[in-house]
């Protein structure tokens, strides 16, 4: 089975502290495995290092030490091996508006990665764009292909960002708080889309979030980070129902009361049942 694994990842940043320069260890020692067809949630308070882990996995930051392995092979730092890795591991950011160019159409946004990564060319590009739009439920595809970012809702824009991540043939998506900037009413729709892709297309999803309720519902496993370390990890229900680490208990105590979790889970279930 296809896997994306991080082993003992460490990231240090040089920071200026008044006149002195010092080192900030944003990620201390992080290890976990994400398999195809699974969702792993990373939760933790602000500043715990979640995005830094995501950015290292997406190759936007170089780890200070540690390894990232795709299908058991350490990833190459350049050339073809790195290009292959980038096809397969793609990132979805928190703010879809910031990652889309207001002057370009949806077609442009999706055609570009298809051509750049050699997935489609010539007369095959437009049907491939339509195919991507259908995979993220933006239909009729020809109508959405002509829109520009400001002509769509936040949820639709995030679907475009997901389609763009899928374009190179991604097998793993690293989604860093993909719904936290969206209106509450459309969050579930986007999370359900990720869940469907994970289920039907065997995608591996790393879901970074502050929201324990959706982490529990949408992920098979939860990794809890605290000040750069993984303090607890395990099957989602176990971590939520029987937390072992004091920090996880604090995090749960700070989350909305359990009845709200129950209600959200019912809502999610109803939506999933509705397809």
Ligand X SMILES: Nc1ncnc2c1ncn2[C@@H]1O[C@H](COP(=O)(O)OP(=O)(O)OP(=O)(O)O)[C@@H](O)[C@H]1O
Query: Which positions lie near ligand X, rule CB under 6 A?
Result: 13, 15, 24, 26, 44, 46-52
The number of beta carbons lying within 10 Å of the beta carbon of residue 3 is 15
Q: Which residue is nearest to Mg ion (CB)?
A: 51
Q: Which does 259 bind (CB under 5 to 8 A by kind): ligand X, Mg ion, none?
A: none
- Shortest spacing between CB 42 and Mg ion, in angstroms: 10
Taking the least distance from each CB to Mg ion, the nearer of 54 and 89 is: 54
Report how far residue 153's alpha carbon sits from residue 176's, in angstroms, rounded to the nearest whole number.
Answer: 19
Taking the least distance from each CB to Mg ion, the nearer of 24 and 74 is: 24
Taking the least distance from each CB to ligand X, the nearer of 51 and 99 is: 51
- Shortest spacing between CB 108 and ligand X, in angstroms: 29
Q: Which does 24 bind (CB under 5 to 8 A by kind): Mg ion, ligand X, none?
A: ligand X
Closest alpha carbon to 51 in 161, 251, 207: 207
* Beta carbons within 8 Å of 84's beta carbon, 6+ residues apart: 76
Q: Which does 44 bind (CB under 5 to 8 A by kind): Mg ion, ligand X, none?
A: ligand X
- Shortest spacing between CB 46 and Mg ion, in angstroms: 7
Query: Alpha carbon of 17 to those of 13, 14, 107: distances in Å?
Result: 12, 10, 46
- Shortest spacing between CB 177 and ligand X, in angstroms: 7
């Amino acid at each position: 089975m296809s896997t994306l694994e991080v082993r003992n990842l460490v990231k240090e940043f040089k920071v200026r502290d008044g006149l002195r320069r010092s080192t900030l260890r944003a990620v201390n020692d992080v290890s976990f495995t994400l398999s195809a067809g699974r969702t792993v949630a990373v939760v933790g308070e602000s500043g715990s290092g979640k995005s830094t882990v995501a950015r290292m996995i997406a190759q936007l930051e170089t780890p200070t030490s540690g390894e990232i392995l795709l299908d058991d092979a350490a990833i190459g730092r350049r050339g073809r091996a790195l290009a292959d890795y980038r096809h397969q591991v793609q990132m979805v950011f928190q703010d879809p508006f910031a990652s889309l160019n207001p002057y370009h159409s949806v077609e442009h946004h999706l055609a570009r990665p298809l051509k750049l990564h050699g997935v489609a060319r010539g007369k095959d590009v437009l049907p491939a764009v339509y195919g991507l739009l259908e995979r993220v439920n933006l239909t009729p595809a020809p109508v959405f292909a002509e829109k520009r970012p400001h002509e769509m809702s936040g949820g639709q824009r995030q679907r475009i960002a997901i389609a763009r991540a899928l374009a190179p043939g991604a097998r793993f998506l690293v989604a860093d708080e993909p719904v936290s900037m969206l209106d509450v009413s459309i969050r579930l729709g986007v999370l359900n889309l990720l869940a469907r892709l994970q289920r039907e297309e065997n995608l591996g999803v790393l879901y970074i979030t502050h929201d324990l309720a959706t982490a529990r519902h949408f992920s098979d496993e939860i990794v809890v980070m605290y000040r750069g370390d993984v303090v607890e990890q395990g099957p989602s229900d176990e971590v939520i129902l029987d937390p072992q680490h004091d920090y996880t208990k604090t995090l749960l105590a700070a989350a909305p009361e359990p009845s709200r979790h129950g209600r959200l889970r019912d809502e999610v279930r109803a939506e999933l049942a509705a397809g």
